[in-house]
Amino acid sequence: MQKIIIDTDCGGDDAVAIAMALKDPNVKVLMLSTVVGNVPMQQATINTLTTLGYAKSYNPPVYKGCKRPLLREPLYAYETHGEDGMGDIGLVPQDGACASEGHGAVKILETLLAHQPKEIDIVCLGPLTNIAVAIALSLETMSRAKSIIIMGSAGFGAGNVTPVAEFNIWHDAEAAKAVLASGLPITFVGWDACLGDAIFTEAEISRLKEAGHLGDFMVSCNKSLISFNMKRFGREVLDFADPVAMAVALWPEVITQIGGYWCEVDTTLGPGYGSLVIDRNNEFGKPNAKVCTEVDANLYKEKIFNLVK
């Protein structure tokens, strides 16, 4: 059974990704840590606990992590995910669920130490602040992770928060730079891999909503994103960024384009801030990360539909 840790700034698409992992019988989610990003960390924690309740699977511990980026003030994605990050439809944790005691970054280290080396994958669905802090506390312990899969970067396409930057990397570029510099086995899932055929169409959204309780939740908590996409794409569709990253982590067979490249995070105070520079020809050095830029959209979607039946 695959064992994973999930680090999340839980908005609507994070909720879908978390539910995917919880419903996969071949996966064990050991813990979740929350981080500032789409919404404040406290709201991300509420959203994560809410998702556990709606998934109706099991309840791994949820730990609160960093409240702000390493150096910058937080800038939230309210316009994309709503004021509460979950479509502003009043979703709340069920049965009085609450976070467990301890800081998320520390608990990541403790969980890695409690298991065999190279036994746990860390799936990062938000900014990398918690991961950078954990590395600063103990790179040796973090090196016990089998891999770190990150929803981050624009891949080889355009950004979604600036012309060149994707939100998760841009929100705390200094943290992303530190994570990349650590030498850990990193895979970025680019924003470009989440577009095109990977976008859920109106018909596929209806199919998901009609699949049952969990599918309805997955659509409803992304109400704000659907409305935002009407302005952005001219259609009420869902670009499920974090679910694509989770699919890459859980189901490598969905990957159709991935490569090892020399990468660098731009932290200069200019128009490139927060972008991941990817050297396709590795002229600047040896590959230090993998970048996934395309998935088999049909296979990825069918796997989600099968989980929510």
For the domain that residue 276 is a member of, what is the CATH number? 3.90.245.10
Would strands 186-189 and 147-151 be described as parallel, antiparallel, or unpaired? parallel
Average pLDDT for the chain? 97
> Which tokens in the block code for residue 57?
């699977």
Q: Are 61 and 32 spatial neighbours (Cβ–Cβ below 8 Å)?
A: yes
The total domain count for the chain is 1
User: Which residue type, as a one-letter code, is found at position 241?
Assistant: A
Neighbours of 251 (CB within 10 A): 18
How far is residue 296's CA from residue 81's CA, in Å, rounded to a whole number?
26
CA distances to 12, 179, 202, 212, 223 from 207, in Å? 18, 38, 9, 10, 15
Q: Give the list of residues 6+ apart from residue 228 with CB closer than 8 angstroms, or none.
A: 79, 80
Higher pLDDT, 95 or 17: 17
> How do residues 6-60 score in pLDDT, each as one tens digit?
999 999 999 999 999 999 999 999 999 999 999 999 999 999 999 999 999 999 9
Closest CA to 194 of 297, 81, 45: 297
Looking at residue 175, what is its pLDDT? 98
Give the active site residue among 7, 9, 13, 266: 9
pLDDT digits (tens, 9 = 90+) for 233-287: 999 999 999 999 999 999 999 999 999 999 999 999 999 999 999 999 999 999 9
Give residue 309's pLDDT.
86
Print the domain residue range for 227.
2-307
Question: What is the Rg, in whole angstroms, of the alpha carbon atoms belonging to the chain?
Answer: 18
Does position 100 have pLDDT exceeding 90, yes or no?
A: yes
DSSP 201: P
Indicate if the pLDDT at residue 94 is higher than 90.
no
CA of residue 79 relative to chain centroid, distance:
18
**DSSP-H helix ranges across 154-240:** 167-171, 173-181, 202-209, 213-220, 223-233
Return d(Cα 224, Cα 219) in angstroms, integer: 10
Residue 95 is predicted with a pLDDT of: 81
The amino acid occupying position 283 is E
Is residue 297 within 8 A of residue 286, CB to CB? The reply is no
pLDDT over 90 percentage in the chain: 99
DSSP bridge partners of 188: 150, 291
CB burial string 163-176: b at 16+ within 10 A, e below: ebbbbbbbbbbbbb
pLDDT of residue 96: 81
Residue carrying the six token digits 């990825």: 300
Q: Are 52 and 11 in contact (CB under 8 A)?
A: no
pTM, two decimals, is: 0.98
**Lowest pLDDT segment from 94-98, 155-159, 177-181:** 94-98
Mean pLDDT, residues 305-309: 94
Reply yes or no on whether 9 is catalytic: yes
Question: Coil, helix or strand for 141?
Answer: helix
